[in-house]
């Protein structure tokens, strides 16, 4: 190997990061990473899987999916806590997989996760703007005023959507503010994240209490036609009955193990829950007992996620009309052909519906909606923060050029990596706003739409969900030296096997089986185009090319990559 003291090889340099992240910071980092638009818009996700929504025991299949996902994700949390305690490095599962399985597998897993995460940022940014519209509509309902009553026209083009030049420019403004938060010094950044996430959690609590205690379905149904041009709640509910509302399940266990409906609902929960584990990816900055800190952060965030996606969303939706909420959400995604126009021109945001039911409490609904605006905004800098740490880990392993991993001495953060991530996000926002994609890559109208972006992200996250189980299964056999002192190390293979059952089941029946079915049909490419499958294939191919090029560069520089990936990255 060439002289490792040379700055050209940089593989033995310190990361430059400082352990400034407390347990509380890590917990709220995880909460901010997965809540997104959920605080106010969870009801729209009932129908995102485009499958029937059933109930058993008064609980929706979406809520049951959240409970099942929560049980399995507890296993994932144990795996991350165990591996992070003996490999406390920024980069998370990239570090684990590249040392346990193979550097190429670790690279492809982390590359696909980065792309999935940037897609989720692109998904959330327009919803920040959407939530600003909704907050203004709530003010208009309560206090009046032409400016607020006509908020639906903010940031929109002639189609009424947050797209085209108005939507793109507004999205870039939001992205610029996100960038300003990202470049805060590490300690300040986490204080901001913790404070804003705390405000968001308070919004959850307020919506649950006031939403149930201060509104009624009768008042909501009586007042709604005033704001929808005469469209009643009953008509909205009836519009989704044929495709989405199948009533009570009479075969709960068979529905739970269905290979046609429930895996799609579970896949939406994976999309919702991704992020609860992200404090493990900044483990190189967590101070104190890393295992305890990561475990508390993961399980605490997971508990909030399960309650929010089950008890919280079902309680509010049932209270104001379950059928109305499911059908309204389907209309927002463009799946409900029986409802010609989106009611109120907005998705069924919980505080918006509460304002219709009780406009006298509009200041409370406004604050809750504002919290609902903060969460999708906050998710974005948190994602960019963890992505930058991933790029730092890549650069230390020579998977990408050194430029990406340079840590700014004043900010104590990989500034170049943050700028690169912001730039790629802007590219995705462009393709969401303009009809500029080749037809075979477009989800609709030669551009990405929100539903297509979500499914694109789900496909790209395949390795992110499955490889932690593979790592736990193999680590005691391939790298016993790394887990000799790991907590519950003897149980890791069993934990890995138990976890793998969950994502493999979902991806077989919610992704692979539909692909196989689509290839046997007349319109072979339509499903692949509209669900982001071809797009994902393109980015997996790009990842392969990058790996080959960087491997050739490392070999030409005389780097002993076998020794490099035997050791952990520098702290």
Q: What is the pLDDT of residues 136-177, one digit of tens each?
A: 999 999 998 889 989 989 988 777 778 888 989 999 999 999
The predicted structure's pLDDT at residue 456: 73
Q: Pull the structure tokens for residue 414.
A: 């990989």
Within 156-261, where are the H helices? 164-182, 186-213, 217-223, 233-239, 252-256
Distance (Å, whole) CA 43 – CA 41: 6
The predicted structure's pLDDT at residue 76: 92
The predicted structure's pLDDT at residue 16: 47
SS3 245: strand
**Does the domain at residues 23-564 carry the CATH identifier 1.10.1760.20?**
no
The predicted structure's pLDDT at residue 11: 43
Domain boundaries defined on the chain: 23-564
Neighbours of 111 (CB within 10 A): 24
Q: Of the candidates 44, 367, 60, which has an alpha carbon nearest to the alpha carbon of residue 204?
A: 367
Residues 347, 335 contacting (CB under 8 angstroms): no
Check the CA dihedral 516-518-524-529 and report its sign.
negative
Neighbours of 515 (CB within 10 A): 13
SS3 340: coil
The predicted structure's pLDDT at residue 316: 95
Distance (Å, whole) CA 546 – CA 394: 12
Please list the ranges in the chain whose pLDDT falls under 70.
Answer: 1-21, 281-288, 290, 438-455, 518-532, 569-571
The predicted structure's pLDDT at residue 449: 61
Per-residue CA distances from 571 to 89, 283, 499 (Å): 6, 10, 29
Q: Pull the structure tokens for residue 288.
A: 């104190």
Residues 309, 67 contacting (CB under 8 angstroms): no
The predicted structure's pLDDT at residue 12: 43
Strand (E) or helix (H) holding 55:
strand 53-56
Could you tell me whether strands 53-56 and 59-60 are parallel, antiparallel, or unpaired per DSSP bridges? antiparallel
Share of the chain residues as helix, strand and coil, in percent rounded to the nearest 5: 70, 5, 25
Whether pTM exceeds 0.95: no
The predicted structure's pLDDT at residue 461: 83
């Amino acid at each position: 190997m060439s002289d490792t003291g040379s700055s050209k090889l940089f593989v033995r340099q310190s990361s430059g990061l400082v352990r400034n992240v407390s347990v509380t910071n890590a917990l709220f980092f995880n909460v901010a990473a997965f809540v997104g638009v959920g605080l106010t818009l969870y009801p729209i996700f009932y129908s995102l899987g485009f499958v029937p929504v059933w109930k058993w025991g008064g609980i929706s299949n979406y809520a049951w999916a959240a409970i099942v996902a929560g049980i399995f994700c507890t296993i994932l949390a144990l795996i991350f806590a165990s591996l992070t305690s003996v490999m406390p490095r920024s980069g998370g599962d990239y570090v684990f997989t590249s040392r346990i399985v193979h550097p190429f597998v670790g690279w492809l897993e982390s590359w696909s996760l980065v792309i999935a995460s940037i897609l989720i940022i692109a998904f959330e940014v327009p919803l920040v703007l959407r939530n600003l519209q909704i907050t203004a509509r709530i003010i208009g309902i309560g206090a009046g005023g032409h400016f607020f009553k006509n908020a639906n026209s903010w940031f929109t083009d002639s189609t009424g959507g947050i797209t085209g030049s108005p939507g793109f420019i507004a999205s870039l403004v939001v992205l610029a503010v996100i960038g300003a938060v990202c470049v805060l010094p590490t300690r300040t950044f986490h204080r901001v994240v913790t404070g804003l996430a705390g405000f968001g959690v308070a919004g959850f609590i307020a919506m649950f209490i006031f939403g149930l205690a201060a509104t009624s379905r009768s008042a909501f149904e009586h007042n709604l036609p005033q704001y929808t041009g005469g469209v009643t709640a009953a008509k909205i509910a009836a519009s989704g009955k044929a495709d989405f509302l199948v009533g009570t399940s009479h075969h709960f266990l068979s529905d739970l193990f269905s290979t046609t409906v429930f895996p799609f609902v579970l896949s939406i929960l994976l999309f919702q829950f991704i992020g609860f584990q992200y404090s493990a990816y900044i483990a190189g900055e967590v101070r104190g007992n890393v295992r305890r800190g990561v475990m508390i952060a993961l399980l605490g965030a997971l508990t909030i996620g399960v309650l929010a996606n089950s008890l919280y969303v079902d309680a509010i939706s049932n209270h104001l009309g379950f059928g109305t909420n499911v059908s309204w959400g389907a209309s927002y995604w463009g799946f409900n052909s029986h409802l010609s126009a989106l009611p109120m021109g907005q998705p069924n945001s919980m505080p918006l519906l509460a304002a219709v039911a009780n406009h006298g409490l509009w200041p409370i609904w406004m604050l809750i909606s504002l919290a609902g605006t903060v969460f999708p905004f906050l998710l974005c800098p948190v994602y960019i923060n963890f992505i930058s740490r991933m790029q730092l880990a890549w650069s230390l392993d020579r998977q990408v050029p050194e430029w990406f991993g340079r840590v700014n001495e004043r900010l104590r953060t990989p500034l170049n990596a943050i700028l690169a991530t912001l730039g790629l996000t802007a590219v995705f926002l462009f393709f969401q706003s303009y009809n500029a994609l080749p037809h075979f890559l477009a989800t609709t109208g030669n551009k990405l739409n929100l539903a297509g972006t979500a499914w694109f992200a789900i496909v790209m996250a395949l390795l992110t969900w499955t490889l932690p189980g593979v790592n736990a299964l193999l680590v005691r056999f391939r790298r016993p030296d790394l887990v000799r002192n790991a907590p519950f190390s003897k149980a890791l293979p069993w934990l890995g096997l138990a976890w793998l059952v969950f994502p493999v089941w979902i991806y077989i029946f919610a992704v692979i089986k539909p692909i196989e079915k689509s290839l046997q049909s007349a319109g072979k490419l339509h499903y692949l185009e509209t669900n982001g499958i071809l797009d994902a294939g393109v980015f997996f191919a790009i990842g392969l090319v990058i790996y080959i090029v960087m491997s050739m560069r490392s070999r030409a520089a005389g780097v002993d990559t076998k020794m490099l990936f035997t050791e952990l990255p520098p702290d």
